[in-house]
Structure formats: structure tokens, C-alpha cells
Amino acid sequence: MIYRSADGGMHQLWWVPGGGAPNWVNLTALAGAPSATDGPAAFATDTPWLAHAAYRGNNGHIYEIMW
């Protein structure tokens, strides 16, 4: 799950089904990317372990974070 926090950070919340506690990461801080003004569009590709989050930054530019 990808979401935008009140401070404009893009965050990912994930967990492994059947075990363990949920995990969280601030994607914008991890990538050194600017804050967001809108919610993200997130998607995954058929490449193993590659996900994308695209969003509009506070400067009007479109950003994509891949991990």
C-alpha cells in the first residue's frame, strides 16, 4: 500500500501474509525526492521485485520512484 502523509511524504506499508509485523518506509526520504501535492499512482511490473510510485511534486513536476 502506498499513501501520501500530511507532510507530503510518499510512504509504503507492506507485510508478509501469514507472519511478521507490518513494515513501513518513507519512499520520498529514501529516494531524496521532493514532497508530493497529490496522492500517488502506484503499480508493479512483471520484473521481480520492481514497483513504481508516480506523483506530482510540490514544484509541479512529475516524479517516479522505483524500488
Q: Give domain limits for the chain.
A: 2-66
pLDDT score, position 36: 93
Name residue, grid cell 506530482. Answer: 56
pLDDT score, position 24: 92
pLDDT in tens, 17-64: 888 889 999 999 988 999 999 889 888 788 777 888 899 999 999 998
pLDDT score, position 37: 93
pLDDT score, position 51: 83
What b-and-e string marks burial along 15-26, b requiring 16 or more CB atoms within 10 Å of the CB?
Answer: eeeeeeeeeeee
pTM over 0.75: yes
